[in-house]
Amino acid sequence: MNGKRALQLKISLVGSRPPVWRRVLVPDSLTLAQLHRVIQLSMGWTNSHLHQFEIGGERYTEFSEDIEAGALDSTSFTLQDVGLRRGGKALRYNYDFGDNWLHDVVVESELTAGPTVNLPRCLGGRRACPPEDCGGVHGYRRLLAAVSDPRHPEHDDMMRWVGPDFDPAAFDAEEVNLVLQRAFRSR
C-alpha cells in the first residue's frame, strides 16, 4: 500500500449554538493521547484542564489517578485499537470536567491518504472555540449575549475578558494546519 489508512473525523462541541465543529483527517494509527492533542489544537483549546475519552463503555485518559480508578491509558490505545470506524461505536471526548466541554467524534469516512499527505490535517470547521473557563456551553451563550449587546450589563467586563479581537464566527483551517504541522512534524 502506498498510503496510510486515514479517518476523516468530525469533532462537534455538544450543545453549542450555533454549532462549533472541526473536520480533521488523521491516521488510524494515532493514539487516543495524540487525538487529544489534535482536538486541542484544532478546536483552539489551551490544554489547561483534565480530559478523558469514552467509547464502548470504557474510559481512556493519560492521568495515573484515573487509570488506577479503572480508566485505560490513552497513550497505549490507537484509534484502530478502540474500533473507531465509520458506523462504529461513538467516541465522546470530555475536556475540563468543571466546564464539561463534551465533544462528539464521528468517523465520516475511511480512506487511504497518499504518502505525501501530511497528517493530521484540518479539512474545515465552523466558528471559534469558546474561551477557556467561561462556564461551559451555557456560560458561553451568556458570554455571547453580553459581547454582542453594548447595552448588556456585563458587556464591558466580558469584552475586557475576551479582548477586542474576539470574533466568535472566526475560523481559519490553514492556521490550524500550521499549528498541527508544527506539533506533529516528526510523524
Q: What is the dihedral of CA 41, 103, 99, 15, to 10 degrees?
A: 120
How far is the CA of 138 from the CAs of 71, 97, 176, in angstroms? 28, 14, 26
In the predicted structure, residue 1 carries a pLDDT above the cut 50? no
- Domains defined for the chain, CATH in brackets: 4-127+171-183 (3.10.290.30), 129-169 (no CATH)
The string of pLDDT tens digits covering residues 85-120 is 998 888 999 999 999 999 999 999 999 988 888 899
| Residue found under cell 474500533 | 83
Q: pTM of the full predicted structure?
A: 0.93
Helices (H) and strands (E) in the chain, counts: 5, 8
What is d(CA 93, CA 103) in angstroms, rounded to the nearest whole number? 5
Task: Determine the average pLDDT of the residues in 13-17.
Answer: 95
- All three cell numbers of 117: 499527505
The string of pLDDT tens digits covering residues 111-121 is 998 888 889 99
Q: What percent of the chain has pLDDT over 70?
A: 96
Task: Determine the average pLDDT of the residues in 164-183.
Answer: 95
In the predicted structure, residue 187 carries a pLDDT above the cut 50? no
